[in-house]
Structure 1
Amino acid sequence: MKRQLLAGTCLLALCATSASGALVHRYTFDGNANDSVGTANGVVMGNTATYAGGQIVLSNPTNTGSGAFNNNNVPASGSYVDFPNFLIRDAAAAGQAGAVSVEMWVTMNTNRDWSALFAAGISSSGIEGNSDGGNDNFPYLQIIPRTGDGGAGNDLRVTSNGVAGPESFVDAPGDSTDLQVGVQEHLIAVFDQSGGLPGTITVYRNGALYGAPAPIANNLNIAANATAFPVTTLADVNVWLGRSMWPDSLIDASIAELRIYSHALTLQDAQNNNGLGPNTVVPEPASCALAALGLVGLAWTRRR
């Protein structure tokens, strides 16, 4: 009996350790952009960001293009958050190797075509801090609340660009919706190459699967059969909240929380986290909790 309870206790402890290890960065924006799990503190760039109600408010009402702040990485008007280099690459190389998930809660104040909510990679200039675009040998990942096709299907899009390969992205089929203005929405973008290349992009919106999973962008220079660039080698010297790899507008939005995981979140994780909301205790993975409860349940059965 004691052995069974000890086994259940040990499994619960192991699960807790694994879960806390998988959440590698957490930003609750409680008056700053500090990382409450790791040490990768963000730096607010520019002069219009504020904090209110447990959110960072990236108020950029006049910034409609980022070319003005390529020099010195500081916008003349507007704000975004700059995170340490290789935030995504290092997360993807840890935990469930080859998998990384980006989770956030966001309320759009204004929707602008191609304005990026989150971006990680390097632009085509090859210079850290510049937003010159990302095609041809400069991979990136981006979360875009509204694409720019002139109103015919301006979808939320999660995209990746490979090395000399085609862009890959997830958005909803047909004429879907961008992120709603004035409504807090929950987003999870999963980049998963843990099962090998090319891997997949999977998106969850408000606890539901959004669109269909897509392959991560091909890299035509790696092999003749066109494999994908590994997220574990992503040259993400630009890691930004609210700024694009392209000369597009800064984001105009409020973000309640940003989390980076070193594993692929599932649909059940998305449903659980969506129900709990931002700035709450991060739950254990459901599969882990069930396994532990199974052992504990077995112990109590034997006790009778």
Structure 2
Amino acid sequence: MKHQAKVWVGVISAFSISNPLLIHGELIHRYSFNDEAGDATGATLTDSVGGANGTVLGAGALFTGTGLELPGGNSNSAAYGDLPNNLISPHAAVTIEGWVTIDAGGNNWGRIFDFGSTQNDGSGGEITGPGNTNGGGTAGLDYFILTASRGGNYDQQRIEVRNEDPAGGGNTTIDSAVTTTFGNKVPFAVTWEDTGPGTSRINYWRDGVKLNIDAAVTSNLADLNDVNNWLGRSTWLNDGNLDATYDEFRIYDEALTGAQIEASRTAGPDTIVDLSDDPDNDGIPTVYEDLYDFLDPNDPNDAGLDEDSDDLTNLEEFEAGTILDDDDSDDDGLKDGEEINTHSTNPLEADSDGDGANDGVEVTDTTSNPNIADTDGDGINDGPELKGGLLPRDATASSPTMIHRYTFDDPAGPAVAGATVVDLIGGANGTIVGSGGNWTGGALAIPGGAGATADAAYVNLPNGLLSPLDHTTFEVWYTLRSSQNWGRLWDFGSSEGGEITTTMTGATQGQDYYICSASLGTNLGSQRHTIKNLDALAPGGGTGPVDGNEEPFDFANANEFDQEYHVVGVWTSDLNGGGQLTVYRDGVNQGTRTTTFTPRDINDVNNWLGRSNWTGDNYLHGDYNEFRIYSGAMNDAAVTNSFAAGPDVGPGGAALEITDITYNKNDDTFTLTFSSLPGRFYYVFSSTDLVDFSNEVEDLPSGGLQTTSGPFANPAPGSSRIFFRVTEE
């Protein structure tokens, strides 16, 4: 048997189905590193196809006889491969293919390749040797990279395109998480192709598995200033050089298809596959037909057969990149032909729109569209809505359950250390820690200060408020009084050493956290909504990656001092280990990002308002008017409604207001009607001078959205005037 397992070969989209397959991508550069074993310092890296020879720069490189071994280490001295300038930018599409063995870790952000430029001082961004030879900065400006690690974690990788030379082009990041076994050879391929002016797309394979689909890039290949084209070194000069052995490195002038890449990977680094060899002219090259027993490279008729009865011919499956003898290549419950011909979904991706819901589920559940992540455009992706009991075609306001509410409406005066911060709904009362806090009568004012050394007031809420939840919404009304470095609106998680109960603890690093900061560092024009999972403890039972990689969403809004703002953070789970973060400012959706873990992964033992789990960050200097936690997700409409209602009104309610007063002169009684919220308790007071409201007339439970008090006897008989006040417990 030639075919004993699934062969994953390529990708399908509406574009690729309607266009003929490009059978032949031209190989334009090939580096095989098969020099005689020995010292490679200063050696030539021969391009056997294009003549664009490179050079080994730095110290410690060896030729093994079949590869180039780089030692890794500090970029000021360690060896790397320097290829000629402008290998990428003249083209409209390229494929970079190679075979590399990661020999060891220990070097942060080690690059498999990095083509681009570095901050310069008149040299155009080119670095001509180890260290910083151009006298400028050390940051990469333009680049097209594939890393062997994210930071020091070699089980995570990154592809990134940055277009900041000149500034303003932005960057696109594509992360993967594939276990690296040091000493094992890794085949890889990355395609980058223009799709229009200012747009392009990237696809990435590692060890025969496609790890992303058509990642959108907001620049073209021609925008890349590729003057530092390196193997094993980063255009960010402070990153470490890679400790690895290169067996083969190739560049093609086309974006190869999945089938072509699989054929080349199968042939190995020492063989160039002739992808145009098709003796029976059936559209399927010999190298591919040889993978399957039921295909014959000399029989053109087998191209029109349907081996797996999925309503696609063998030729159509080859062109689509689906598996010829598996009717459901992505195991989503839909046949490959049904996905392509009926639903226009991707037969190689179980969740075509990346919304957390399987294509088969979305097709079966006709309330959502498998090609639109957020069918109703309400700010919550379809997957979390389906799993949270919401309707993904209904954009009307969602109704999450408010489970904690802190209104900070204690009488004006000092908010001393140890004072209680009352939870009006859930009973999860918090505590003031530190000094300098004050109740204003309608808010809590905290003073700010240096995080590591100041005894500054903040709010410590009980442990475990976040981790039991699958979907949650945090909502806050706040006012800033001064700029504080990374001042936190909220920070729920843990720090080095776990739980912290005092101020002046020195600078420790946050381990787990869900945060929203009022500023990006000291930049008041930007804010951060982010999560991180570095603490292995997961009291909520989460199973997400404990990798320490922050998953931020930064957003930009002006922060004026002494002005109140409204921020809502929503974190939903797809119930498959991942989720979605969305943030709102003053009722406006600022944006969304996906997450690799959920609230249940957070070890929430430091649940703070106004303080950071990175305890060297400053305390917030400002006022809290109200803070709420919900079980469930607010959508766009719900946030808009809550912002309009303001901090004194719960969802679905109206401001507390006396709407009618009736006096019956026959029996000298009054009847009051006022707006209310279900499940609350109210007190009615009277006064004759608008100062002393100590006279309680009646206490009563809510009558719903409207409550009536009375009739009750005139509390001030004979008085020429009387005033009433209603308060909510």
Q: TM-score, normalised by structure 2?
A: 0.30
Which residue pairs with 1:181 in the alignment? Answer: 561
Q: CA deviation digits over 1:171-222, x for unaligned, max 9?
A: 23xxx33533211111100111145332111001101101x20122xxxxxx
1:161 is aligned to 2:532: yes
Matched residue type, 1:120: F
Q: Distance in 1 between matches of 2:514 and 2:650?
A: 27
1:75-154 equivalent positions in 2, closer than 5 A: 76=455, 78-90=456-468, 92=469, 98-129=470-501, 132-134=508-510, 138-148=511-521, 151=523, 154=525
Q: Give ranges in structure 1 of 5+ residues lacking alignment.
A: 1-17, 69-74, 93-97, 217-227, 285-304
1:39-50 equivalent positions in 2, closer than 5 A: 39-50=427-438
Q: Distance in 2 between matches of 1:52 and 1:229?
A: 39
C-alpha deviation, 1:48, in angstroms: 1.0
Do the aligned residues in 2 keep the contact of 1:86 with 1:234 (CA within 8 Å)?
Answer: no
Match of 1:229 among 597, 601, 608: 597
Q: Which has the larger radius of gyration?
A: 2
RCO higher in structure (CA 8 A, sep ≥6): 1
Do the aligned residues in 2 keep the contact of 1:86 with 1:237 (CA within 8 Å)?
Answer: yes
Do the aligned residues in 1 keep the contact of 2:525 with 2:559 (CA within 8 Å)?
Answer: no
Do the aligned residues in 2 keep the contact of 1:207 with 1:270 (CA within 8 Å)?
Answer: yes
1:1-304 equivalent positions in 2, closer than 5 A: 22-31=401-410, 33-60=421-448, 63=449, 65-68=450-453, 76=455, 78-90=456-468, 92=469, 98-129=470-501, 132-134=508-510, 138-148=511-521, 151=523, 154-162=525-533, 163-172=546-555, 176-210=556-590, 212-216=591-595, 228-246=596-614, 247-283=616-652
The 1:59/1:165 distance shift into structure 2, 3 A limit, reads closer
Matched residue type, 2:431: V
> In angstroms, what is the RMSD of aligned CA positions?
2.1
After alignment, is 250-259 or 51-60 more displaced?
Answer: 51-60
Q: Distance in 1 between matches of 2:558 and 2:548?
A: 26
Q: CA deviation digits over 1:137-171, x for unaligned, max 9?
A: x32111101112x75x8411111112224211122
Q: Distance in 2 between matches of 1:118 and 1:203?
A: 13
Q: Distance in 2 between matches of 1:41 and 1:127?
A: 18
Q: Distance in 2 between matches of 1:139 and 1:59?
A: 26
Matched residue type, 1:142: I
Do the aligned residues in 1 keep the contact of 2:579 with 2:597 (CA within 8 Å)?
Answer: no
Q: Distance in 2 between matches of 1:30 and 1:107?
A: 15
C-alpha deviation, 1:127, in angstroms: 4.1
Q: Distance in 2 between matches of 1:250 and 1:278?
A: 23
Q: Which 4+ stretches in 1 moved above 2 angstroms? A: 124-131, 176-180, 194-197
As a proportion of its length, which structure holds more strand? 2
Q: TM-score, normalised by structure 1?
A: 0.70
Q: Distance in 1 between matches of 2:582 and 2:404?
A: 20
Q: CA deviation digits over 1:77-109, x for unaligned, max 9?
A: x2000000011113x1xxxxx111100100111
Matched residue type, 2:422: N
Q: Distance in 2 between matches of 1:79 and 1:245?
A: 15
Q: CA deviation digits over 1:114-141, x for unaligned, max 9?
A: 111110000123343466112xxx3211
Matched residue type, 1:169: P
Do the aligned residues in 1 keep the contact of 2:572 with 2:598 (CA within 8 Å)?
Answer: no
Q: Give ranges in structure 2 of 5+ residues lacking alignment.
A: 1-397, 411-419, 534-545, 654-729
Q: Distance in 2 between matches of 1:281 and 1:204?
A: 17
As a proportion of its length, which structure holds more helix? 1
After alignment, is 28-37 or 259-268 more displaced?
Answer: 28-37
Using the aligned pairs only, state the percent identity: 28
Aligned length: 230
Do the aligned residues in 2 keep the contact of 1:110 with 1:253 (CA within 8 Å)?
Answer: yes
Q: Distance in 2 between matches of 1:282 and 1:127?
A: 33
Do the aligned residues in 2 keep the contact of 1:117 with 1:241 (CA within 8 Å)?
Answer: yes
SS in structure 2 at match of 1:191: strand
Q: CA deviation digits over 1:62-83, x for unaligned, max 9?
A: x1x2223xxxxxx52x200000
Matched residue type, 2:567: L
Q: Distance in 2 between matches of 1:282 and 1:197?
A: 29
